[in-house]
Amino acid sequence: MRTSVGRVPVGIVGAGPAGLLLSHLLHLAGIESVVLEARSREYVERRVRAGVLEQPTVDLLREVGIAERLDREGMPHHGLSLRFDAADHRIALTELTGRCITVYGQQEVVKDLIAARLAADGRIEFEVTGVALHDIDGDAPRISYVDAAGRPAELRCDVVAGCDGFHGICRPSIPAGVLTEYQHTYPFAWLGILAKTPPSHAELIYTHHERGFALHSMRSPELTRLYLQVDPDEDIADWPDERVWAELAARLAVDGEFTLHEGPLLDKGVTPMRSFVVEPMRYRRLFLAGDAAHIVPPTGAKGMNLAVADVRVLARALTALLKENRTDLAESYSDTCLRRVWRAEHFSWWMTSMLHRFGEHDAFQRRLQLSQLRYTVTSTAAATSLAENYVGLPFD
């Protein structure tokens, strides 16, 4: 079968928040792109991922016209609770920083971005296979793939954006020895559930407990998202619904009034905990963004927000490169992004280290954690540091 060959300024691999938002930002700048995605549209619009948007992320989505449903259905939160010693200790995010977070599922952001791209006749190809990069050592990279109908195709590009996640094909396409990888694996994982029940608390609860960490979150007024610290090799089959609810009740217990609302489980899965950063985030005209370049443990709620920050920088760099023949922003792309990435990596590591159980018999570690927690909730300076990192540092 004959290969279909097309020409596009920017080829984007991956239709997650990074790839879709990059395509939208480029469209606003008058630059055409094509987004390639291995999964179906239904899959990417339904997969449950992050749900906390930083203030700068919300501001950007409003600025570029993607926030109509977000403003209508998103849930602004002006504080969060650190729960330990069987008590809640509220961090007043807005009072301390003047900013807030908004709870709005990543899949909802993806739906909004897909709708916006299709409304503008943007080209998103779902269910592609065999994606491969070619000629990335030069100034005219190519992407070959097989489309959803089984026809071989090729895109000739000025630039390729690798927004295809940690397990994607773009980062491994870069020649050996070019990238430096920094990584850390944590000795635990999260068992996450999505329950059809109203949230049990108005704000997020981060719980430090002798049985392990727990997190109470939500996705809407009718859907609750909850997490339990478990072993990294935990078998999901060992966690029937009754055990999940019993363990959540034990770890979220507090002196005073608190009722854990139970309901049918719509989703259940185990997520490994790791930190990962690759430097640089660019090889010639191949640029990495989002999870393709870095992973953070979800404790700090930074993953999707870092992807948004990356493509904001990348869209400006590509606009300068392709419309003005300026190379300075493209050349500084990696360094600019990595400053924010490493700040988020540290904050996520700090939150993770403060809240999780690291060993059944590590009494020294536990007392250090309790000391840090007590200091954080009683010191205005410490609480402000947590708050300003959590709501999101300004982009510029």
Catalytic residues, by residue number, are 77, 206, 298, 302, 390
Q: Which two tokens stand for residue 244?
A: 């999940």
Question: Which amino acid would we find at residue 61?
Answer: L
Q: Is residue 150 exposed (0-12), middle (13-18) or buried (19+ Cβ within 10 Å)?
A: exposed
- 44-77 as b/e: b if 16+ CB within 10 A: bbeebbbbbbbbbbbbbbeebebbeebeeebbeb
R_g of the chain, CA atoms, integer Å = 22
Question: Going by C-beta distance under 8 Å and a sequence separation of 6 or more, which residues neighbour residue 280?
Answer: 179, 334, 335, 338
Query: Degrees (nearest 5) of the Cα angle 264, 83, 57?
Result: 75
Instruction: Tell me, rounded to whole angstroms, the distance of Cα 167 from its chain centroid.
Output: 14
| Three-state SS at 51 | coil
Q: Which two tokens stand for residue 30?
A: 């008058």
